Amino acid sequence: MSNLKTTGSKAATAASKTLNNGSTGANSRTAAASALSQAHTPQKQTSAAAATAASKVLRDGRTSATSKSAAASALAQARGGKK
C-alpha cells in the first residue's frame, strides 16, 4: 500500500532552511532534501536510505528543531514497516 502523504508548507520551509544552513550535517541534508522533493507530490515516497538518515537525525540530540521537523516529515512519508 502506498503512502499518499505530502510535505506541508511548514515542513517544506524547515527543509529549505536546513538545506541553506552551511553547518548542516549529511543526514540532515538527506532527510531535508527528501522532504522538500515530496512537497505537493503524493506519488513520491521516502527511500530507505533517506528514511534511515531521517531516523538518525531524530535520534541525535545535537540536531536543531528545524532539521528534526524536516526529518520527521520525510520519515512520515516513508514506506510502511517490514512485511
Q: How far apart are CA 57 and CA 24, in angstroms?
A: 11
Q: How far apart are CA 15 and CA 39, in angstroms?
A: 10
Q: What pLDDT score does 1 carry?
A: 53
pTM value is 0.85
CB half-sphere exposure, 13, CA atoms < 13 A: 4
List the beta bridge partners of residue 78.
46
Q: What pLDDT score does 4 carry?
A: 79
Q: What is the pLDDT of residues 31-75, one digit of tens each?
A: 999 999 999 888 889 999 999 999 999 999 999 999 999 999 999
Q: What is the pLDDT of residues 6-36, one digit of tens each?
A: 898 999 999 999 999 999 999 999 999 999 9
Q: Name the residue ranges covered by the structural domains of the chain.
A: 9-76
